[in-house]
Every structure is written in structure tokens, then in C-alpha cells.
Amino acid sequence: GIKKKEVKILILGLNNSGKSTIVNHLKSEEDKVLNIVPTVGLNVEKFKYHNVGFTAFDMSGHGKYRDLWEHYYRESEGIIFVIDSSDTLRIAVVRDELDILLQHPDIVTRRIPILFFANKMDLRDSLSTVKIATILGLERIEDKPWHICASNALNGEGLQEGSEWFTQAIC
């Protein structure tokens, strides 16, 4: 039969935004996890289920490892961008990182979907999705399908909505 090639997804965000917690949810929702490569240095996490390979990266450390995660842009067919909605101090850093991402040569010309998780929505001082979309200037993304979804990675709220949108956008 026809062998479908693996779809590659990148999960990005600052450290402590909730990437690992979201990844753990994605894993536990499916029994068909083929292999899990545990984090080795650099806060990289890789796993795979069905035909989808996920690679998660911390966009932290003042871009020290930027080359490393940017190396994955070319082959990625979708990006999940995780934001700590309660981290108002670093929302400007998030915006800077998003700008750099959107201007990257391997991203700028491609119509790859971007799903934003406004995570930690359960925390009292978390910013709304509308507020985050405004601060990050998401309306300017006109050449790529994108979606922002509030989530609570601790209990899984919002993750399914996001995943459903993402699956549709990728296929």
C-alpha cells in the first residue's frame, strides 16, 4: 500500500509554559505511543504516535540553543506554541520569540498552521486569549492558519479543542 510519510510537529514555548505537561496529556490520551526519547540536555523532548512525530523545545536560555530548534523548522508541518498566560513579566519575551519565528526563512513563506495554547488559564491572574492575541499581534498572521485556545494542562481542559483544530488544519 501507500506509505504515508511521518508528519512532524514542533512544540515551542518558553521554559515553564507547560509544554511537558501538554505533551504528557497527548501521550496518555493515546496508547499507541511508539517510542519516547527522554529529555537529553537542552530540554528537548521527542515522541511519536500514529504517523506524527513531536519535538518539543524550550525557547529559553537567551536563544543560546536557537540554531538547534530552528534546525527543525524546515521539516515541520505544524507548530504548537505554548504560552504561560499568567507570566505577564515574560509576555514581551514571548512576543520577541514569536517575531523571530515568523520571520525565519523556513517559516515566513510557508502556510504551516500554528496553534497557540494560552496555558495556565486556571491561574487567577492569567491573561485572556483576546488579550494575549492582542499583545502578540496575532491578527498580523495572514498567510498561515492559526488558532488560539485557552488551556489548563493540569486537568486537560482546552487541549482537545486545540488538538481538533490542529488536526484539521494539518490534514
Annotated binding residues, written as ranges, equal 13-20, 39, 61, 119-122
The residue to which cell 496555558 is assigned: 119
Among 119, 136, 147, 159, binds ligand GDP (CB under 6 A): 119
Distance, C-alpha 147 to centroid of its chain: 11
**Contact between 16 and ligand GDP (CB under 6 A)?**
yes
**Contact between 15 and ligand GDP (CB under 6 A)?**
yes
Alpha-carbon distance of 12 to 17, in angstroms, equals: 9
37 or 123: whose CB is closer to ligand GDP? 123
Alpha-carbon distance of 142 to 134, in angstroms, equals: 14
Alpha-carbon distance of 120 to 42, in angstroms, equals: 23
**Cell numbers found for residue 20:** 511537558
Q: What are 53's strand-pairing partners?
A: 8, 48
**Contact between 53 and ligand GDP (CB under 6 A)?**
no
Q: Judged by CB under 6 A, which stretch of 65-73, 94-102, 117-125, 138-146 contacts ligand GDP?
A: 117-125
From 95, 158, 92, select the one nearest 121 (Cα to Cα).
Answer: 158
User: Least Å distance between CB 110 and ligand GDP?
Assistant: 24
**Contact between 167 and ligand GDP (CB under 6 A)?**
no
Q: What are 152's strand-pairing partners?
A: 157
Among 10, 52, 118, 153, binds ligand GDP (CB under 6 A): 153
User: Least Å distance between CB 53 and ligand GDP?
Assistant: 18
Residues annotated within a binding site for Mg(2+): 20, 39
**Contact between 25 and ligand GDP (CB under 6 A)?**
no
The residue to which cell 496518555 is assigned: 28
State the residues that interact with ligand GDP by CB under 6 A: 13, 15-21, 119-120, 122-123, 152-154
